[in-house]
């Protein structure tokens, strides 16, 4: 469905960089907002940062300082994504036209604004997408599922997200996401050596490197693509898996910004490209250590795509099944739905 015109519906400018939340959760929250916009209806634009030409007062909104979009170390997810070619970033003109601010709005406040603020721009800030948006979508969409895999209501918007500017992705039959937690702690590799990580970051991968080096079963269906938060894993996997060679980044860590310097934006974009590639895999997605990144890719890919924690063991050395049920990424808390940090 084509997006409604700005003169007939309210425009919500969502100012929230979701600090401390990875790219997977941020993309999911964006899809939630876009789904909400289609239900109300409303136009939705995002402001991870403040664009050049916007009033300087918006560099600080509420208690939060917002970066300038033109700064070389600024990460703006929606610089790299469009909604079927439509811009998702809030423009300087939209900031200049803001007529109302809503801080941590309830679902009912958003519904009311969509009815009373037709044709105007409403700045929404300090929102809690993990709690409020899921509950709002359940209420408006009459859905009760609390699991990540069950949030099918957002799938249409997830599938409208496209890379900006467009480019051809690597072909993928089977995708592999090797999460090591290296982004969270330098030197940590929870996949190969859990003891190298701090206690709170230790994970137990339901897979061995040898199973990935000789992919069998459904993993034999090529072409195979791999993405990892530790680029050294690409060499370890050899020629069995093809990668973009990206170095995943954590947009919430200041030390990552300082270390990456002017290349941070490019690194972050390659992480977005890796997610889109993983989500395009046709046969299976494998994630030895669970994450919102891999589960969201599977949600977009669809249930026809197998989701597993490992490739099957070769028939000559098969002791346990390689595929298990994916972890639940949402939980019910006091009657509302909240996102879990994966792993």
- Span 257-279, pLDDT tens digits: 555 554 667 777 888 999 999 99
* Element spanning 45, H or E: strand 43-47
Measured distance CA(138)–CA(128) in Å, rounded: 15
Pairing verdict, β 174-178 and 161-163: unpaired
Of 105, 109, 287, the residue nearest 191 (C-alpha): 287
Residue identified by tokens 């811009």 is: 87
Measured distance CA(135)–CA(152) in Å, rounded: 14
Q: What is the pLDDT of residue 304?
A: 95
DSSP secondary structure code for residue 129 in this structure: I
Q: What share of the chain is helix, strand, coil (3-state, %, to 5)?
A: 35, 20, 45
Task: Record the pTM.
Answer: 0.85
The mean of the pLDDT values for the chain is 82
Q: What is the pLDDT of residue 139?
A: 82
| Beta-carbon contacts of residue 237 (< 8 Å; ≥ 6 apart) | 176, 178, 209, 212, 213, 226
State which of 2-11, 67-76, 314-323 shows the largest mean pLDDT. 67-76
More confident residue, 134 or 252: 134
Q: Residues 320, 207: contact at Cβ < 8 Å?
A: no
Q: Is 87 left (phi over 0), alpha (psi -120 to 50) or beta?
A: beta
Say yes or no to pLDDT of 88 above 70: yes
């Amino acid at each position: 469905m084509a997006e409604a015109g700005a003169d007939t519906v309210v425009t919500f400018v969502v100012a929230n960089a979701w600090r401390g939340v990875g790219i997977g959760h941020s993309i999911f929250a964006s899809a939630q907002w876009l789904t909400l916009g289609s239900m109300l209806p409303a136009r939705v634009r995002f402001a991870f940062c403040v664009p050049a030409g916007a009033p300087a007062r918006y560099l600080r909104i509420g208690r939060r300082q917002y970066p300038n979009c033109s700064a070389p170390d600024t990460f703006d997810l929606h610089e790299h994504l469009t909604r079927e070619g439509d811009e998702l970033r809030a423009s300087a003109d939209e900031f200049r036209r803001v007529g109302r601010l809503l801080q941590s709005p309830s679902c009912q406040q958003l519904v009311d604004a969509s009815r009373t603020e037709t044709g105007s721009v409403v700045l929404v800030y300090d929102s809690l997408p993990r709690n409020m948006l899921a509950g709002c979508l359940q209420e408006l969409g009459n859905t009760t599922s609390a699991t990540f895999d069950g949030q099918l209501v957002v799938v249409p918007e997830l599938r409208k997200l496209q890379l900006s500017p467009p480019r051809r992705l690597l072909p993928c039959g089977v995708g592999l996401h090797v999460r090591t937690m290296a982004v969270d702690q330098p030197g940590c590799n929870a996949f190969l050596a859990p003891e190298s990580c701090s206690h709170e970051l230790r994970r137990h991968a339901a897979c061995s490197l040898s199973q990935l080096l000789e992919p069998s079963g459904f993993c034999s269906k090529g072409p195979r693509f791999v993405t990892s938060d530790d680029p050294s894993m690409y060499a370890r996997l050899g020629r069995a898996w093809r990668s973009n060679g990206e170095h995943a980044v954590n947009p919430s860590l200041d030390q990552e910004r300082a270390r990456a310097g002017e290349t941070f934006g490019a690194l972050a974009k390659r992480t977005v490209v890796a997610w889109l590639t993983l989500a395009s895999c046709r046969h299976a997605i494998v994630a030895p250590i669970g994450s919102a990144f891999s589960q969201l890719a599977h949600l977009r890919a669809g249930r026809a795509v197998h989701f597993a924690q490992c490739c099957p063991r070769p028939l000559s050395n098969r002791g346990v099944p390689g595929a298990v049920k994916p972890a639940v990424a949402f939980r019910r808390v006091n009657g509302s739905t909240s996102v879990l940090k994966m792993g």
